């Protein structure tokens, strides 16, 4: 029986993971659940899965949860130190890194240091601290398995070593697919007044708000470009980005002999999660079989960098030391401001561009340096958002 720690349990990835785990009570136990502050949602999950531990970020939330869970044996803790201790617990086999944003870095690093199986959904941690994270995975003897559907597809199309590392020997190119998001085909001018609700209505995937907005701006594909470079040891020019609106082909690998291998499947995160949980075995994910005839057409087109400049910004940032750490931090601030109604959708790239221009970029090779660069980029982004923000009384 493998004990699994599900970080970001109340989120989209966390819930999909718990759904797969619950289908296999003979193989997996959700031993640790962690979330930010949604006490009621966490209470329901704890009642359903009775983990050994539940961790809330804030002590007040943990206290409230503890009160509610008096009648079950789950122990409730709070804060990052507790989470660190639990993800390194020898009884825990796999850690699902499903916290959103830079906040997920510390626990993912702890799991890497402790040599766990890391099921990595949190791409921001890898994008901001790629060198440090990959080195920690190596030195800690961890097994790193990508949950992000595109990177999971790549992993599935590659030969792997016993520790999960992909063998890139005969690979010529990685073809990273993008859905194009809800605004595919629109001009830049037609994006000015889109609302957070429209931006979060992804045509194929049901996801958390932040990644949904990232998909709509194509910033997500920029983050995923960097994610693929770290996971598969590639230069950005060895990765081609292709828009595939049906989200059925999740990415492809082109080999030296001209063969192109693709992984296809329903746009349902339970497939990549089940793959990572069971790797190198396969288990039922609860996903409906793909009906390829019903799907009918598979289209591919080039991304529109003029309408969606976030991707072009990422392609340029990735060539500068620390560029993607700053990109990701600025993007997090800008997306939060857009979701709060403070800036327009088309201001998001402006915030990122301004941060990339104004701050002093250096390659962050220690955790301290990563945190400093992230904090500098956030501060610059907040200043930029403040200048852009329309006073709410006038809007
Ligand atoms: P979500 O917003 O639905 O859930 C986020 C989870 O993180 C919640 O459980 C929340 O409580 C927790 N959390 C938020 N801030 C936290 C903090 N400061 N400390 C501790 N916990 C915190 O997000 P999601 O869509 O599940 O995405 C999670 C991660 O997975 C993101 O990095 C995203 O890019 C990645 N990802 C998601 C999908 C998807 O389909 N949802 C696909 C690929 C990758
Ligand atoms: Mg993805």
Query: Each residue's pLDDT tens digit in the chain (395 positions)?
Result: 999 999 999 999 999 999 999 999 999 999 999 999 999 999 999 999 999 999 999 999 999 999 999 999 999 999 999 999 999 999 999 999 999 999 999 999 999 999 999 999 999 999 999 999 999 999 999 999 999 999 999 999 999 999 999 999 999 999 999 999 999 999 999 999 999 999 999 999 999 999 999 999 999 999 999 999 999 999 999 999 999 999 999 999 999 999 999 999 999 999 999 999 999 999 999 999 999 999 999 999 999 999 999 999 999 999 999 999 999 999 999 999 999 999 999 999 999 999 999 999 999 999 999 999 999 999 999 999 999 987 665 44
Q: Where are the domains of the chain?
A: 2-147
| Nearest-angstrom CA–CA distance, 139 and 130 | 14
> Of the ligands numbered here, which is closest to the C-alpha atom of 205?
1
* Whole-prediction pTM: 0.98
CA dihedral 200, 206, 209, 215 (to 10 degrees): -60
Tokens representing residue 264 in the block: 């296809």
Atom of ligand 1 nearest to the CA of 10: 9
DSSP structure class, residue 203:
S
> Helix 309-317 and helix 323-339: axis angle, to 10°?
150
Assign 387 to helix, strand or coil.
Answer: helix
Alpha-carbon distance 181 to 245, whole Å?
A: 8
How many residues can be counted in the chain? 395
**Cβ–Cβ contacts within 10 Å for residue 187, how many?**
11
How many C-beta neighbours within 10 Å does residue 91 have? 12
Pocket of ligand 1 (CB under 6 A): 8-14, 35-36, 38, 57, 98-100, 103, 121-124, 148, 205, 207-208, 210-211, 269
53-56 and 28-35: which strand pairing?
parallel
255 DSSP assignment: E
Q: Which ligand is nearest to the CA of 272?
A: 1
- Are 226 and 130 spatial neighbours (Cβ–Cβ below 8 Å)? yes
Query: Does 2-147 carry CATH code 3.40.50.720?
Result: yes
């Amino acid at each position: 029986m493998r004990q699994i720690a599900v970080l970001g349990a109340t989120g989209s990835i966390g819930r999909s993971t718990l759904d797969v785990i619950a289908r296999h009570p003979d193989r997996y136990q959700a031993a640790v659940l962690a979330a930010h502050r949604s006490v009621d949602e966490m209470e329901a999950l704890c009642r359903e899965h009775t983990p050994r531990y539940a961790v809330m970020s804030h002590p007040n939330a943990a206290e409230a949860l503890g009160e509610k869970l008096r009648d079950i044996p789950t122990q409730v803790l709070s804060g990052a130190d507790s989470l660190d201790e639990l993800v390194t617990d020898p009884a825990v086999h796999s850690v699902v890194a499903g916290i959103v944003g830079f906040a997920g870095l510390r626990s993912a690093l702890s799991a890497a240091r402790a040599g766990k199986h890391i099921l990595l959904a949190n791409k921001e941690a890898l994008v901001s601290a790629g060198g440090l994270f990959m080195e920690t995975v190596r030195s800690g003897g961890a097994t790193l398995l990508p949950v992000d559907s595109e990177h999971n597809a790549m992993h599935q199309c590659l030969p792997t070593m016993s520790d999960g590392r992909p063998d890139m020997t005969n690979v010529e190119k990685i073809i990273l697919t993008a859905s194009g998001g809800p605004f595919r085909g629109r001009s830049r001018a037609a994006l000015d007044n889109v609302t957070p609700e429209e931006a979060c209505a992804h045509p194929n995937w049901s996801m958390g708000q932040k990644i949904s907005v990232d998909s709509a701006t194509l910033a997500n594909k920029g983050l995923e470009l960097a994610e693929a470079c770290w996971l598969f040891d590639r230069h950005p020019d060895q990765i081609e980005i292709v828009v595939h609106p049906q989200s059925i082909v999740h990415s492809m690998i082109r080999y030296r002999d001209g063969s192109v291998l693709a992984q296809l499947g329903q746009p349902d995160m339970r497939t990549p999660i089940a793959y990572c949980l069971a790797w190198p075995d396969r288990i039922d994910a609860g996903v409906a079989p793909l009906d390829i005839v019903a799907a009918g057409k598979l289209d591919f087109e080039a991304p529109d960098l003029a309408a969606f400049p976030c991707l072009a910004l990422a392609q340029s940032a990735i060539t500068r030391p620390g560029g993607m750490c700053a990109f990701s931090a600025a993007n997090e601030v800008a997306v939060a401001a857009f979701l709060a109604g403070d800036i327009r959708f088309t201001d998001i790239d402006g915030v990122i561009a301004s941060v990339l221009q104004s701050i002093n970029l250096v390659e962050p090779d220690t955790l301290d340096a990563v945190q400093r660069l992230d904090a500098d980029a956030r501060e610059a982004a907040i200043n930029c958002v403040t200048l852009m923000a329309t006073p709410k009384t006038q809007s």
